[in-house]
Structure 1
Amino acid sequence: INELNNVNHVLVIGVGLGYHIKGIVRKYPNMQFSIFEPNLQVLHAFLNFFDLSEIKEKNLINVFHSLEDIVNVEKLLRLVIKSSTMAIFPTALRMDKEKIEQVIFYIKDQLNDKKFNLLTDVTFQMRWTQNSILNLAEVVQTPNLFLHTKAVSYLKGASVILVSAGPSLDLEIENLKKIKKDRSAYIFAVGSAVNTLIANEIMPDALFSYDPTEKNANVVQKIKELQLPIPLIFGSSIGYEVLQNYPGPKVHFFMNQDSISTNIVSSEQSNIVADAPSVAAVTLNILCQMDVRHIILVGQNLGLVNRMVYSSGIEYATQSVDTTDSSSYIETSDVLGNTMLTTNGFMQMKEAMEGIIAYYPSKVINTTFGGAHINNTEYITLSDVMETILTKTDVVANDIFSGKTGYKIDEVKERYSELENSFDVLYSTFEKLLKIHAEIVNSFEKGIISKSENLFVQFDNNFSKVEQSVFFLRVIAPITRAQYKELVARSYEVNYEKVPRKKIDKFIEVYTPYLRAMYVTLIQVQDIFGQLKNSITYKEVFK
């Protein structure tokens, strides 16, 4: 009890008669609680004995006896991340150790996912929107994979080789050369695998790419140097550097992280592809949506093979790793049931693929020798697949990705103009917000709080206008998504506080960081839109 000075929330596991809870409440009256009691009879006895009114209503987050009873998982996890500890009643641990471990494991697992998602948001939130803005003209000029090409009709019922850059790809080069020669299946490279194929003089039927980072340009560097006409099937929020001076045909698909193109370019219903931890998972999703009959995975190791991570021919990536630090690696089963080393990152990719495979009827065959086992796939060697499934030749169409954009340029220009006008309105309202915020802060510092309620009303009205703005919804909120989520999650703390001085203090703590983030973002996006307008592609489209 004496060690809770820096804690805001306690997850009490095991209640007994609640004396330990009373002790915490007495010493820390503002402490927030979640209570887990795995034994239902003990929980009933506790609720009959303990007066829950001793804990302030706003401070009691959850009372549950199983995972299914948790009322607000998000709120519980947010508190655990922020500042929390567990108080485990020893008797409960002896009586229900398995249930308690299950809850603790669940919370840790959810926290890992939440931290991964938060890290993803923080890492990519600016790049996603920056790319979507700078790629706008490219998207307008190129055909949509689902709307404007023959891919949907040609790939339905077809067989596709999905080639990834795992070490086992090197073992299948001769088989892939034969498949390419016989034209017995489409060969689609994902990400860096294209460079292994190029190094072995195999031209894939397409390269699929979606990575928003600047480093993604390395993947297509060799294609640009050699001026290879490999069709690029790209996600609309791809790193804009990839598209610059790309020599082959380009075809786009909309990504769910793109809030620009999907609202400006087309009012037609086109498939929007969900983001995923790997380009293989994104491409798998697309192929499943197109009702491909056989999706044949090659080089999908999702782990280490003799300390190797990548196939050969990828000059910009470290191919082997040092496994002496075992804390960086975990074990999983390979396609033959043997134990192999992998990483949490690879496991995220594997789970994403498994979720897609479970949802669609397409048959997914994993030919990756030494690859991680992927649920709902069948392991068959590629040579056996060639003998039993890829028995027909000349089934690959040359014009599968040919097509012209079908977007109406006048409508695109009109919607783009609306977005620009929305920026002007938003900026004006934001300036009012900053003035009101400054007045609240200055009054607080001078000890004047009589005007606070009126100022809060003004602030709320103007902040609501900002949140409803088209430019905020499509540009600012996506760029500041991590900070905005934090603001929304904590705004209740301001509303709950009834003591005026404490309310102002909480308001400054919660809203000031977001206003700063928004100010910086507004400056940055003006520069990004300036880059778009200066691009040759923009001038060609919006002339």
Structure 2
Amino acid sequence: MTLAIEKEISKVGTETVKVNGFYLHSKYNPLREAEQIAKQEYKPHHLHIVFGYGLGYIVDALIKEFHFNEPILLIDPLMDHNYIDVFNPTYNRFYSAKANDIAKIIDMVDKLSTYSTNVHIITSINYDKLFPLELKNVLEIVKNNHYKQGSNIATAKHFAVAWQKNLLLNTNNILSDFTLGKLEKEYTAPVVIAAGGPSLTKQLSLLKEYRNKIILICAGSTINALIANNIMPDYIVSVDGGEPNARHFESLSFKKEVSLIYGPTNHYKVRDSFEGKGYAFIPSVKPKYKDYFENRFSKKLPLIHGGGSVAHYALSIAKYITTGPIALIGQDLALTNDQSHATGVKCNKSAKDLPTSKKVLVEGYYGEMVTTTQTLKIMMNSFNEPPLLDTERKNVWNCTEGGAKIHSIDQLPFGEFLEKFTNEEAPKIVGEVLDQSTHIEEEFFNTEINNYNKILKLLKEGSQVINNSIGLKLTSYEVNKIGKIEKELNNLYKKYSLETLLEPIFDRCSHEYLPKVNETSVESNLRAKNYALDLYTSCYQQIEYFIEQLMSKENKTI
């Protein structure tokens, strides 16, 4: 695209600019126009994405409007070819990205749009006419991120109790098992990752034929499809903490030749199906778990990147354990042949059973348009985004031969991959037989319950201090008392790793009790008291409910 850029002097003497005949600022009074736009567009506690810099008037005016150190992300196609100069303001939360750097934009939006930060897009004057395709890309990125963030919030809330329970009941397993670090770069053999998409079925005959020449990693529930075809993997990766995941494994039993690779919040019953020692890791989204196991138990576990599905973790694990070539099969991420999964996978559904509103079209493996769901689309995008996006590793191929196209991974027919990279038997590192009970020890279980009760006592004390406070503002004595309680609580939360259980409450309270613009001291004091009371009361109820679930006859496992 050829761009003709002309600078002019406005009616009030301030410089303005015109691109291909379109003014990017007022030709009368650019500064006043920018101030009006900034006042109208500013939204407290939002990430502001400004599409179009021009001469910077709107960005400068917007920053002056900020009250709460909000982040601002500038994207301008004119930056791509150095048509304009961006004068980075001294504002400490100013970020910029070129419009053609999609990976950076995705990464920046993901990092800056936290649970408590909404996103507001401001399209500068005439940029929608000059760069409609680039604007469309930005809007799509923000839309996908909004859906992903919403899904993350809902998932964290829904699984808070289950994940915390799995962490507790997996602790003895993890202490008895190997760390995944034991397998770091131990293989040079080719690794095949079998996911449960519909296209897996057509690859099974080749998988059988070359089985002894590869290391086979199975992604979670795919195991039932493999077993139905008499194929046994070397490793099964499992990260899902829900009951449905446990049901995939409830009737299965594996000798030491098949090893489980899992994270702390994986459903604790899955471990019972494995005779041999497993390998434990920490999902990179839960770095505090790494500190928990290192500080409390001196157990060092590696951080592994994921992206919302077990297949993402499986890919990261494959890269972690081998320097050899890696193939993905069954990674459809689409409703191939009107099915959600391969034959034999227990959660397989017909596309006809899914509402039309949940279906979207994406580019397919062969360049055609294929039908998928919004959830699968997010999983597909995760392969193309940091941290899974890997431009350095050149020996990873998508050999699914169907489904959606993963743009960041080269494609190769599965038969060609096997013929090219397999020439001898791939030796498997066989683990040891587990010589301890995989159930948590009763002494440790009871100790944790006592620790949780200590936290409940502190939360109750904090609530009583606030409830007994007479004025709108806490006295210095009450503030000091709350401060001591808060310090002790934070130490206990960290020591006993309760972040998963309480994270939804922390996020909700931080979002609901944000300060208002021009807030009075009375409003500020009342907000602070309501925030603290809500936080303590909600945390108390959540932990109390968690203890009840642990102590119930149905759930207690010792």
Paired with 2:278 and 2:115, the residues of 1 have a C-alpha distance of 44
The aligned residue for residue 55 of structure 2 is 41
> Residue 66 and residue 459 in structure 1: after superposition, are their counterparts in 2 closer, same or farther (change >3 A)?
farther
Structure 2 residue 241 is the aligned partner of structure 1 residue 215: no
The aligned residue for residue 120 of structure 1 is 155
CA deviation vs aligned residue, 1:3-47 (integer Å, no higher than 9, x gap): xxxxxxxxxx9896547966997x999988969583543717x97
The aligned residue for residue 6 of structure 1 is none
Amino acid at match of 1:248: E
Name whichever of 336-345 and 303-312 sits farther off.
336-345
Amino acid at match of 1:43: Y
Paired with 2:169 and 2:550, the residues of 1 have a C-alpha distance of 7
Paired with 2:44 and 2:418, the residues of 1 have a C-alpha distance of 65
Paired with 1:234 and 1:330, the residues of 2 have a C-alpha distance of 33
> Residue 339 and residue 268 in structure 1: after superposition, are their counterparts in 2 closer, same or farther (change >3 A)?
same
Paired with 2:200 and 2:352, the residues of 1 have a C-alpha distance of 18
**TM-score of the superposed pair, with normalisation by structure 2:** 0.73
Name whichever of 226-235 and 186-195 sits farther off.
226-235
Partner secondary structure for residue 336 of structure 2? coil
Partner secondary structure for residue 113 of structure 1? helix
1:216 deviates by 0.2
The aligned residue for residue 169 of structure 1 is 200
Any unmatched runs of 5+ in structure 2?
1-23, 77-85, 96-108
Partner secondary structure for residue 210 of structure 2? helix
The aligned residue for residue 81 of structure 2 is none
Paired with 1:376 and 1:89, the residues of 2 have a C-alpha distance of 31
Question: Among residues 460, 475, 479, which one is paired with 2:501 in the alignment?
Answer: 479
Paired with 1:59 and 1:488, the residues of 2 have a C-alpha distance of 14
> Residue 439 and residue 504 in structure 1: after superposition, are their counterparts in 2 closer, same or farther (change >3 A)?
farther
Paired with 2:63 and 2:295, the residues of 1 have a C-alpha distance of 53
1:504 deviates by 3.7
CA deviation vs aligned residue, 1:468-488 (integer Å, no higher than 9, x gap): 323356433321212213434
Name whichever of 235-244 and 498-507 sits farther off.
498-507
1:251 deviates by 0.1
The aligned residue for residue 390 of structure 2 is 358
Structure 2 residue 416 is the aligned partner of structure 1 residue 384: yes
Paired with 2:488 and 2:459, the residues of 1 have a C-alpha distance of 7
1:311 deviates by 0.9
Alpha-carbon RMSD: 4.5
CA deviation vs aligned residue, 1:190-217 (integer Å, no higher than 9, x gap): 1222111111122222322111111101
> Residue 347 and residue 529 in structure 1: after superposition, are their counterparts in 2 closer, same or farther (change >3 A)?
same
CA deviation vs aligned residue, 1:239-270 (integer Å, no higher than 9, x gap): 123234x2532403122347386247742433
1:52 deviates by 9.3
Partner secondary structure for residue 506 of structure 2? helix
Any unmatched runs of 5+ in structure 1?
1-12, 407-411, 539-543
The aligned residue for residue 279 of structure 2 is 252
The aligned residue for residue 3 of structure 1 is none
1:238 deviates by 0.7
Percent of aligned pairs with the same residue?
A: 16
1:313 deviates by 1.6
Name whichever of 208-217 and 271-280 sits farther off.
271-280
Paired with 1:311 and 1:421, the residues of 2 have a C-alpha distance of 46
> Residue 281 and residue 330 in structure 1: after superposition, are their counterparts in 2 closer, same or farther (change >3 A)?
same
Paired with 2:122 and 2:178, the residues of 1 have a C-alpha distance of 58
> Residue 92 and residue 190 in structure 1: after superposition, are their counterparts in 2 closer, same or farther (change >3 A)?
closer
Paired with 2:155 and 2:312, the residues of 1 have a C-alpha distance of 16
Aligned 8 A contact 2:235 2:260 in 1: yes
Amino acid at match of 1:203: M
Structure 2 residue 58 is the aligned partner of structure 1 residue 58: no
The aligned residue for residue 543 of structure 2 is 522
Question: Among residues 383, 389, 405, which one is paired with 1:373 in the alignment?
Answer: 405
Structure 2 residue 537 is the aligned partner of structure 1 residue 506: no
1:165 deviates by 1.0
Aligned 8 A contact 1:278 1:349 in 2: yes
> Residue 281 and residue 31 in structure 1: after superposition, are their counterparts in 2 closer, same or farther (change >3 A)?
closer
Amino acid at match of 2:491: S
Length, aligned pairs only: 494
The aligned residue for residue 17 of structure 2 is none
1:392 deviates by 1.6
Name whichever of 278-287 and 91-100 sits farther off.
91-100
The aligned residue for residue 4 of structure 2 is none
